[in-house]
């Protein structure tokens, strides 16, 4: 449910609920004298219509469970907010090599991600490669189970010492990689050798363009005091197009963005965002319910006890 835009259309006492699967997006880089990006959104990959009982005057309410508050594209996972494995028990990551529609290298064929972000990732990597004129962009880390995160922590501590692990590796249970919405990008050359992503032109391109695809460069140098993680040019997190665009344009990290939504927004006072030619209203809900929006919408928990509603106009 957390990755789904739901559209409700009421007319003549009949209600039609159209369920949109994850909004896929197509972003194309068009060069015309200089650099110019054009983002076009593809309406929906799959729709499913459900006819509901007529309820003419009834004001429909959305209700949220505690589980809802710990799931979705906008959940915050950091040193203070553990990933809720129980709330996400139904989460089923897919192998990137099975799901990818564009053939970029993945450093381990067992690497997995949320199926809902694969289209956006494919398009982002493809456009980066086209802009660079190379095919080196790779995925060097993806979804991690709690056990796997422990092995990463232990390995780094053994190789570089515990100080290094504490600085660069999240404690198991507190890694964004548990969400399946985060990944590390790398460079793998045609001969199979690896380059350093943070020193590549790809890193610059990704930092400037990833928001077009709904990803944020999660750990920036000027936000380390807030994120608690050192500058990582390679780590990207999917949050969805309107949110990524707002964070990029206003230089906010996820912690700051969620704090802004909590402090400044409500169903009556949403944050208006325009991204990729589409207008969105975004607001925070602190209780367990709110009126159902008239237009298509998506909900996500913030993993801090609240819900964020994104309405697509």
**Strand ranges (DSSP E) for the chain?**
5-11, 14-20, 25-32, 34-41, 47-52, 61-63, 94-95, 112-113, 137-141, 182-188, 194-195, 215-219, 232-238, 271-275, 278-285, 289-291, 297-301, 307-312
- Taking the least distance from each CB to Zn ion, the nearer of 119 and 235 is 235
295 is catalytic: no
Residue 225 makes CB contacts below 8 A (sequence gap 6+) with none
Query: What is the pairing mode between strands 25-32 and 34-41?
Result: antiparallel
- Taking the least distance from each CB to Zn ion, the nearer of 121 and 290 is 121
User: Of 233, 246, 223, whose CA–CA distance to 202 is shortest?
Assistant: 233
Residue nearest to Zn ion (CB): 235
Q: How far is the CB of 170 from Zn ion (least distance, A)?
A: 8
What residues make contact with Zn ion under the rule CB under 5 A? 184, 235
User: Of 116, 63, 111, whose CA–CA distance to 239 is shortest?
Assistant: 116
Exactly one of 48, 57, 232, 272 is catalytic; which is it? 232
Q: How far is the CB of 182 from Zn ion (least distance, A)?
A: 6
Q: How far is the CB of 145 from Zn ion (least distance, A)?
A: 15
> Are the C-beta atoms of 272 and 238 separated by less than 8 Å?
no
- Taking the least distance from each CB to Zn ion, the nearer of 84 and 175 is 175
> Are the C-beta atoms of 153 and 172 separated by less than 8 Å?
yes
Q: How far is the CB of 67 from Zn ion (least distance, A)?
A: 25
Residue 150, class by beta-carbon neighbours within 10 Å (0-12 exposed, 13-18 middle, 19+ buried)? Answer: middle
> Are the C-beta atoms of 299 and 307 separated by less than 8 Å?
yes
Q: How far is the CB of 241 from Zn ion (least distance, A)?
A: 21
Catalytic residues: 232
């Amino acid at each position: 449910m957390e990755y789904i835009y739901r559209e409700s259309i009421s007319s003549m006492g009949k209600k039609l609920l159209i369920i949109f699967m994850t909004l896929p997006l197509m972003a194309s880089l068009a060069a015309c004298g200089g650099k110019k990006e054009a983002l076009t959104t593809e309406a929906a990959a799959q729709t499913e219509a459900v006819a509901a009982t007529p309820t003419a005057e009834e004001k429909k309410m959305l209700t949220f469970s505690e589980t809802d508050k710990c799931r979705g594209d906008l959940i915050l996972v950091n040193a203070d907010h553990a990933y809720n494995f129980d709330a996400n028990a139904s989460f089923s990551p897919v192998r990137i090599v099975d799901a990818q529609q564009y053939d970029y290298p993945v450093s381990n064929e067992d690497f997995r991600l949320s199926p809902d972000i694969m289209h956006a990732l494919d398009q982002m990597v493809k456009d980066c490669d086209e802009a660079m004129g190379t095919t080196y962009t790779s995925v060097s880390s993806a979804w991690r189970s709690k056990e796997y995160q422990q092995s990463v922590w232990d390995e780094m501590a053994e190789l570089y010492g515990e100080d290094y692990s504490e600085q660069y590796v999240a404690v198991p249970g507190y890694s964004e990689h548990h969400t399946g919405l985060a990944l590390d990008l790398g460079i793998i050359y045609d001969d199979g050798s690896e380059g350093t992503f943070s020193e590549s032109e790809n890193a610059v391109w990704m930092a400037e363009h990833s928001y077009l695809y709904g990803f944020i460069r999660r750990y920036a140098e000027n936000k380390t005091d807030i994120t608690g993680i050192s500058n990582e040019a390679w780590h990207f997190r999917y949050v969805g197009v309107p949110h990524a665009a707002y964070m990029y344009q206003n230089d906010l990290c996820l912690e700051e963005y969620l704090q802004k939504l909590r402090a400044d927004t409500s169903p009556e006072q949403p944050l208006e965002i325009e991204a990729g030619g589409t207008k969105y209203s975004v607001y925070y809900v602190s209780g367990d319910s709110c009126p159902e929006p008239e237009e298509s919408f998506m909900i996500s928990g913030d993993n801090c006890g609240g819900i964020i509603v994104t309405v697509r106009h």
